[in-house]
Amino acid sequence: MSQRPGRPQGSRRPHGSERPHGSQRPRGSQQKLAEIRRQQRARQTRIRILAGAAVLAAIALVVVAVIAFTGGRTTAQKSPRAATGAMVDGIRCQASEQVAYHIHAHLAIYVSGSRQVVPAGIGIPGSQQVVNGFVEGGKCLYWLHTHDTTGIIHVESPAERVYTLGQFFDIWGRPLSGTQVGGATGHVTVFVNGKRFAGDPRAIKLTPHAVIQLDVGKVVLPQPFTFAAGL
């Protein structure tokens, strides 16, 4: 009986003819998958960068809006760092007013041309006794203080001596320099008794009926001030 022709026993498939295992992918598929994953990572990176840029842009817009709304101005007000009773620049806070040396000066502050309020009660810490907007007293009274919002600085000292505007601002707890008055920054133009003052504003002497004007930014013509009778 004749036999069908067949593959000789012991023969093998030609090299490379074996089928790949089911868990393996062709090389082209692996490269394509790797490329897809790389593109996904690139997209995620771009998304994170764009999200961060959007957050920064939003913050910048808020800052610009605040500046535009306020005009860069700040209203003079009592600071949390205001003196609370301890000695400041050699100036004491005492239970009663000292009248051995009693004079008055006037302070006006302008920021971008807008008049700012010098608060009542500067130099009068603690629980204040206020009558019709006039601060009559508190825990104690520094030798330099204000009773109302007129801008009048009361100098009430146990002895005659020279006091300065810088000492008053130290008691107030607000910075003062050629580029800053309280919370307002910019070039500071100073007038004393209607004349331009070119020195350090902290060095201005609080002399009897001195009229002091501080302009931050826009310069305002010196404004006169008349002291009430008896001051």
Task: Please tell me the predicted confidence (pLDDT) of residue 51.
Answer: 74
Q: What's the domain count of the chain?
A: 2
**In this model, does residue 72 exceed pLDDT 80?**
no
Same domain, 39 and 130: no
* pLDDT tens string 174-209: 999 999 999 999 999 999 999 999 999 999 999 999
This prediction has a pTM of: 0.67
Same domain, 122 and 29: no
Same domain, 149 and 209: yes
Task: Please tell me the predicted confidence (pLDDT) of residue 31.
Answer: 74
Q: Mean pLDDT across the chain, nearest whole number?
A: 84
Task: Please tell me the predicted confidence (pLDDT) of residue 16.
Answer: 47
Contact 95, 140 (CB under 8 A): yes
* pLDDT tens string 117-126: 999 999 999 9
List the domain range (segments joined by +) for residue 43. Answer: 25-70
- pLDDT (average), residues 138-159: 98
Task: Please tell me the predicted confidence (pLDDT) of residue 47.
Answer: 80
Same domain, 169 and 124: yes
Task: Please tell me the predicted confidence (pLDDT) of residue 116.
Answer: 98
SS3 per residue for the chain:
CCCCCCCCCCCCCCCCCCCCCCCCCCHHHHHHHHHHHHHHHHHHHHHHHHHHHHHHHHHHHHHHHHHHHHCCCCCCCCCCCCCCCCCECCECEECCCCCCEEEEEEEEEEECCEEECCCCCCCCCCCCEEECCEEEECCCEECEECCCCCCEEEEEECCCCCCEHHHHHHHHCCCEECCEECCEECCEEEEECCEEECCCHHHCECCCCCEEEEEECCCCCCCCCCCCCCC
Same domain, 29 and 102: no
**In this model, does residue 59 exceed pLDDT 80?**
no
Q: How far apart are CA 181 and CA 228, in angstroms?
A: 27
Task: Please tell me the predicted confidence (pLDDT) of residue 13.
Answer: 52
Q: Classify burial at 26, counting beta carbons within 10 Å of its beta carbon; exposed 0-12, middle 13-18, buried 19 or more.
A: exposed
Task: Please tell me the predicted confidence (pLDDT) of residue 222.
Answer: 98
